[in-house]
Amino acid sequence: MENHEKNSSVIEGIHYATGELVTIEVIDGLIDKIFIKDGMSSVGGNLIIAPGLIDNQINGYAGIDFSGPAISAEDAIKAFTAILKNGVTTFLPTLITAGLSSMTRSLRVLSEVWEQDELFRECVPGFHLEGPFISSVDGFRGCHPLEFIRKPSVDEFRELQAASGNKIIQVTLAPEAEGAMDLIKYCVSAGIVVAMGHTNATSTQIREAADNGVRLSTHLGNGCANMIHRHNNPLWQQLADARLTPSIIADGLHLLTEEINVFYKVKGPDNLIITSDIVYLAGMEPGKYSYLGTDVLLTDSGMLMDTVHNCLAGASFPLVKGVETMMDFTGCSLAQAINMASRNVARIYNLDDRGVLAEGKRADLILFEMDRYRINIRKTYINGRLVFDCTER
């Protein structure tokens, strides 16, 4: 009879939703038991424990651009290691609009890392394709390079999917583009999450897209022209359709306080997700940079401004910033804000093994301190394994 020794550990903290001191017993990477503990914490301090954050839109990190022409496997691992420090335990590397050869190369590199690195594989359920099948209209295309935007094509998507090793699990597209409905139907039938974004679709086109299985609105309120019709614009129908869950960039720069409040009140805390849309320039010194073939200004406030097209060029703050902002702007609870960056995201991608603190789920956990709305990540666990500890820096 074989002896299979189980790997076990105990993690303690203040439950992010109940405020109770809990002890979580982890066996073989899964939460086995959660006990409410009386008395003071044996680990000291007031560390709060919550499920790890899930980010569905990371374009790059730590100077590494996932869509960059020279990205290597080593680069991807470097970015991934930095991501863990900000409490993200699951994420979708996101490729944006580029030439077909460039996109297929990036997908092959990411697929190679996924196949070879176990921890990366545990944290990355798949890839997100944001473009090239988006609106070519100035404003709605954002900073995506016009020369590479093209009509939705099932054949081209198959080529991209093959390059990824069948790991593309989300596509963001403009439903008004010629061929979009065919691609939507194809992807939905294959179990791929389809989102609308960078779109100038009419209400009728948005409803048709939802009828065909689109369930997500990518960074609603952004990827939108600066000047739009007050009645006939793509925002109202996406807000009105209960089948659509918006992702929002809640970094305090992409959306005004009142916009976030309206989105939150209309959709509710259970039908809204926070995303980062972070790019490789995050963490760099303020100044002028080149990104996507254009000039980008990184301001002292962290805003990334495309000075040529007068639009934002992604974000510079990690997902935890969105959790802080949601509490600050809406008055929602810590639990509601965390859920918008974990549980709600897991539901979109059918990641039933994560996103909550519950017995039988993956022990993807974060421990952090709070000062009003400010969150300071202290430790990150993936499958019960400590992958980041601020005391070891």
CA angle centred on 199, ends 105 and 283, rounded to 5°: 55
Please report the pLDDT score of residue 331 as a whole number.
Answer: 97
Q: Which helix (H) or strand (E) holds 207?
A: helix 203-211
The mean pLDDT values, 10 residues at a time, for the chain of 393 residues are 65 96 96 86 73 97 92 95 96 97 97 97 98 96 94 98 98 98 98 98 98 98 93 96 98 96 98 96 87 86 87 92 98 98 98 97 98 95 96 64
- Fold annotation for 52-348: TIM Barrel (3.20.20)
Please report the pLDDT score of residue 51 as a whole number.
Answer: 98
The pTM (predicted TM-score) of the whole model is 0.95
- The residues of the chain that CATH labels 2.30.40.10 are 8-49+356-392
> Which residues are CB-contacts of 204 (< 8 A; sequence separation ≥ 6)?
none
Q: Report in angstroms the alpha-carbon separations of 122 from 89, 105, 113, 263, 364.
A: 9, 22, 12, 32, 10
**What are the residues facing 12 on neighbouring strands?**
23
Strand ordering across the sheet containing 304-306: 287-291, 294-298, 304-306, 311-312
- The residues of the chain that CATH labels 3.20.20.140 are 52-348
Please report the pLDDT score of residue 310 as a whole number.
Answer: 84
Please report the pLDDT score of residue 312 as a whole number.
Answer: 87
Class of domain 8-49+356-392: mainly beta
Q: Which helix (H) or strand (E) holds 376?
A: strand 374-382
Please report the pLDDT score of residue 2 as a whole number.
Answer: 41
Identify whether the C-beta of residue 341 lies closer than 8 Å to the C-beta of residue 274: yes
Please report the pLDDT score of residue 39 as a whole number.
Answer: 62
